[in-house]
Amino acid sequence: MGSNTRLSAQPTWRWLVATVFLILVAHEGHELIHTGVGRMICGGWGSRDFNVWALAEGCESWVPTLMGPLFSWSLMWTGVMLLRSADEGRRWMGLTFIFAPNPLGRLLPALFGGGDEGVIARHFLGREGPWARIAVIVVTFAIILPTLVAAWRALPERRRPHWFILLFIGGILVTGPLFFALGNGLLARGVLAERGMMGAPMLVEICTVVSVVGLAATWHWLKGGTDG
C-alpha cells in the first residue's frame, strides 16, 4: 500500500465514537455467530454470557467454534480491501474494520495456544505435544499480522505509533470493562439474566440492540477523519 492511499487527517472524536460502537457490534457478532450456528446444528440454544458460550446439552461440534474467528478475520480483511480504495472515506472505514474485531484479543490467546483457534487445533491435532499450539500461533499470526501492517501504513505519519497502539488495544479497553467486568458481573447477580429471543440473556440482547442503534446513528462518521 503506497503513500497515495495513506490517510491525510488525524482521527476525530466522531470517528472514535463510531469505532466504539462498531467494536461492540463486532464483539457480539462474533459471539452470536458461535451460538447461532450452534443453534442450527444442535437444535437448541446453549448457555452464554457476554464472552463465554456453550452448545446445547449433549451436543458436540467444532463448527460453531470455528465460525467466530472466521467472522472476525473476515471483518479485518474487509478492512484491508477498503484501505485500497482511492476514496478516503472508504479507507477510514477500512481502518475501523481492521481494529473493531479486536485483533489483540485474537493474538494474545493464540500465543498460549488458547481461544477458539486453540480449541480447533486441539480437536484436529490432539492435546499432546506442541503441534496444536504451534499451529494456532502460525495460522493466527499469518492471518492477522498482514491486516495490522496495512493499518499501520494507512495511518497518517503524525502520531502514527500513538494512534496504532490506541486502536490496537481499543477492543480490550472497550469490551473488558463494559462487558466482561460490568456486564458479566450483573448477570452473575441475576440482573436480566433470563434468556431472550436470540438465546442470550436479556441484558446481552439489550446491549446488542443499543450497540446496533448507536452504530446505525454514527455510521456516516466512520467515513471521515475530519471534523468538518
- Mean pLDDT within 20-31: 98
Would you say the pTM of this structure is higher than 0.85?
yes
Q: Domain ranges in the chain? A: 9-99+152-220
Q: Calculate what percentage of the chain has a pLDDT beyond 90.
A: 82
Q: What nine digits make up the cell of 214?
A: 448507536
pLDDT value of position 8: 84
Phi/psi of residue 113, each to 5°?
A: 70, 25
With a cut of 70, say whether residue 168 has pLDDT above it: yes
Categorize the per-residue pLDDT at 227 as very low, low, confident or very high, splitting at 50, 70 and 90.
Answer: very low
Alpha-carbon distance 220 to 228, whole Å? 13
pLDDT value of position 150: 97
pLDDT value of position 3: 47
Give how far Cα 7 sits from Cα of 46, 155, 212, 222, Å: 43, 6, 27, 13
Q: 215's torsion region: left (phi>0), alpha (psi -120 to 50) or beta?
A: alpha
Residues 6+ apart with CB under 8 A from 135: 121, 125
Neighbours of 196 (CB within 10 A): 16
With a cut of 90, say whether residue 224 has pLDDT above it: no
Could you give the 3-state DSSP secondary structure of residue 45? coil
Could you give the 3-state DSSP secondary structure of residue 196? coil
Structure confidence by residue, pLDDT tens digits, 119-155: 999 888 887 778 888 999 999 999 999 999 999 999 9
